[in-house]
A and B are shown apart, each in its own frame.
Chain A
Amino acid sequence: QVQLQESGPGLVKPSETLSLTCNVSAYSITSAPYWGWIRQPPGKGLEWIGNIYEDGNTHYNPSLKSRVTISVDTSKNHFSLKLASVTAADTAVYFCAKYEDAFDIWGLGTMVTVSS
């Protein structure tokens, strides 16, 4: 059964870079067309952050594009998110997901708080 698990620091200081990894198990990361990141600020809705494709190409939300980098490491079967220059507005639960028939498999999510 395909499983995704997000990992990374739960607390990041303002102006620093948020870094998360999504570990994929029971499935080869090269087998799905896309992998994505989505976030949900406390009490708010879902916001798409970006996708990475099996060929390494990326698509980012224009609202975050200048600060976001998504990469994939096929040797470790995981993909990663970096969000630079974070502020309190970036506090959210961050989800990774497999994208084949829409976002068909999601991770549990990890809460990231931006605070000094």
Chain B
Amino acid sequence: DIQMTQSPSSLSASVGDRIIITCRASQAIGTWLAWYQLKPGKAPKALIFAASRLQTGVPGRFSGSGFGTDFTLTIAGLQPEDFATYFCQQYGDYPLTFGPGTKVDVK
């Protein structure tokens, strides 16, 4: 199985901040990498697929990059609605696997 790790596991930030979350795969997955946002009581929201492509309707302050084993999610100009937990997921090989998550809360 491809193991996914994320760092940091949590971070505190303020509205307007630029934050970067890192995701690493235990083996190369090309750009078969997605990012999701989870909030309690809400349907998870898909943010990015193919490492860097924004899902329809996702604001441009979200961006993704990376290839192979190392990936990043950047939020440029954090908004109040962005405080949430973020997960990466690889879909380059079965079984599909997720990172452990990064919780973004208010500083």
A101 to B96, CA, bound (A): 14
Q: Is the CB–CB distance between A108 and B42 below 8 Å?
A: yes
Residues of A within 8 A of B101 (CB): 45-46
A86 to B101, CA, bound (A): 26
Interface of A, secondary structure class, is strand
A102 to B42, CA, bound (A): 19
Min CB–CB distance A33 → chain B (angstroms):
12
For B, the interface residue count at a CB cutoff of 8 angstroms equals 25
Residue B74 lies at the interface, judged by CB distance under 8 Å to chain A: no
Min CB–CB distance A60 → chain B (angstroms):
8
Residues on B lying within 8 angstroms of A by beta carbon are 1, 34, 36, 38, 41-46, 49-50, 53, 55, 87, 89, 91, 94-101
Residues on A lying within 8 angstroms of B by beta carbon are 4, 36, 45-48, 51, 59, 61-63, 95, 97, 101-109
12 further A-B pairs in the complex, CB-CB below 8 A; given A59-B94, A108-B41: A46-B38, A46-B89, A46-B98, A47-B98, A48-B95, A61-B96, A101-B34, A102-B34, A103-B36, A103-B46, A106-B43, A106-B45
